[in-house]
Amino acid sequence: MKLLVVVGTNAPHSYNRFLAKYIAKANQAKADFEVKEVAGLLPFFKEGVANQGISDWRDAVAEADGIIITTPEYDHAIPAALKSALEWLGSHAGPNLMKLKPVCVLGASMGIQGASRAQEDIREILLSPDMSANVLPGNEVLIGHASAKFDSNTGELTDEATAKQINALVETFVKFVAQAHK
Ligand SMILES: Cc1cc2nc3c(=O)[nH]c(=O)nc-3n(C[C@H](O)[C@H](O)[C@H](O)COP(=O)(O)O)c2cc1C
């Protein structure tokens, strides 16, 4: 099973990137993980534009059996970089690659709320007609006070309770993806 772990930000230092890397490393026995950035090669969405970065991004999503997205919260929503990256996958950029694609979301923030509003925002986006993704229901993992849970320099996850919660979610998602592809 191939799972893409999408880092939902273009910030150079990001707890959600630490989270994505942790997921891929700690769960490597459960599936083949690839951590994927939305930063760098992707321009902001504009109909009619094409380049290698967009094709690579679309190919990576098309080839994945499931997608895990780690999202920060920017102004009670997902970051613009992530929104744009999702727009490159929908039906205005080519065939809709998200249709019935199993997706799982989680997020980390500096405050107490664990990117809760951004997670609600992305669930709604993923369920829009243009995306129609197969979003794992419930199973919310809200990682607040991220700077106390990850080592800010090494990116290592140091909080055992959070690790347990994340790994349980990944286990549930792996079953969800397997079921979806039966
Ligand atoms: C433009 C901007 C808007 C933000 N808005 C929120 C917000 O609405 N809610 C929140 O909890 N944190 C907010 N934050 C703080 C983020 O939670 C914090 O920067 C976090 O570290 C971002 O995730 P990252 O480390 O993966 O980049 C905001 C940060 C930025 C840069």
pLDDT in tens, 37-66: 998 889 999 999 999 999 999 999 999 999
> Residue 166: which pLDDT band, with cuts at 50, 70 and 90?
very high
pLDDT in tens, 64-109: 999 999 999 999 999 999 999 999 999 999 999 999 999 999 999 9
User: pTM for the whole thing?
Assistant: 0.98
Q: Specify the CATH number for the domain of residue 174.
A: 3.40.50.360
User: How far is the C-alpha of 101 from the C-alpha of 29, rounded, in Å?
Assistant: 22
Answer whether 112 contacts ligand 1 (Cβ < 6 A): no
Please answer whether residues 102 and 66 qualify as being in contact, where contact means their C-beta atoms are separated by less than 8 angstroms.
Answer: yes
Phi then psi dihedrals of residue 32, to 5 deg:
-90, 115
Domain that holds residue 32: 2-180
User: Which residues neighbour 77 within 8 Å (Cβ) at sequence distance 6 or greater?
Assistant: 83, 117, 118, 121
* pLDDT the model gives residue 40: 86
Alpha-carbon torsion angle 66, 166, 152, 31, nearest 10: -40
DSSP assignment letter at 7? E
> Residue 169: which pLDDT band, with cuts at 50, 70 and 90?
very high
pLDDT in tens, 4-34: 999 999 999 999 999 999 999 999 999 999 9
Answer whether 15 contacts ligand 1 (Cβ < 6 A): yes
CA neighbor of 124 nearest in space, from 115, 114, 135, 113: 135
Decide: helix, strand or coil at residue 18.
Answer: helix
Answer whether 75 contacts ligand 1 (Cβ < 6 A): yes
Residue 127 above 90 pLDDT? yes
What total of structural domains would you count in the chain?
1
> Residue 154: which pLDDT band, with cuts at 50, 70 and 90?
very high
